[in-house]
Amino acid sequence: MSGATSEPTVEVRDVRPGQRFVLVVDGALAGTAQYRLEGDDVAFLHTEIDPAYEGRGLGSAFVREALRQVADRGAAVLPHCPFVRAYLQRHPELVHLVPAGRRAEFGLEQSA
């Protein structure tokens, strides 16, 4: 039996000068999410997970934590990135992070 049952160490860091979030797994760069600031809003542009880390749920965990960090600083989210947009479509409890007047533009309108 393999002894590799321990959970990896996962960190999500906001590299503000580079306007990107990075996903670090066991000390190695595993993904990035590029963004730009649009006033007080954070516009996610492109998210990429290294193929060696795909299929382990790390991409979803990465986006969830990046969104949490944006929310914690009181900013809104503009999900131009298809991966972030799809994540929000699967998690309607987080759609409130997108300004109400812009949700339709990202296919995030909720029917009551």
Tally of structural domains, the chain: 1
| CATH number of the domain encompassing residue 60 | 3.40.630.30
Would residue 43 count as lying in a domain?
yes
> pLDDT per residue over 69-94, tens digit each?
999 999 999 999 999 999 999 999 99
State the residue range of the domain holding 45. 10-99
Cα–Cα distances (Å) from 15 to 12, 36, 93, in that order, read 10, 12, 26
Q: What is the pLDDT of residue 47?
A: 97
Q: What is the pLDDT of residue 112?
A: 40
Would residue 69 count as lying in a domain?
yes
Would residue 105 count as lying in a domain?
no
> pLDDT per residue over 13-61, tens digit each?
999 999 999 999 999 999 999 999 999 899 999 999 999 999 999 999 9
Would residue 49 count as lying in a domain?
yes
Cβ(78)–Cβ(102) below 8 Å: yes
pLDDT at 6 > cutoff 50: yes
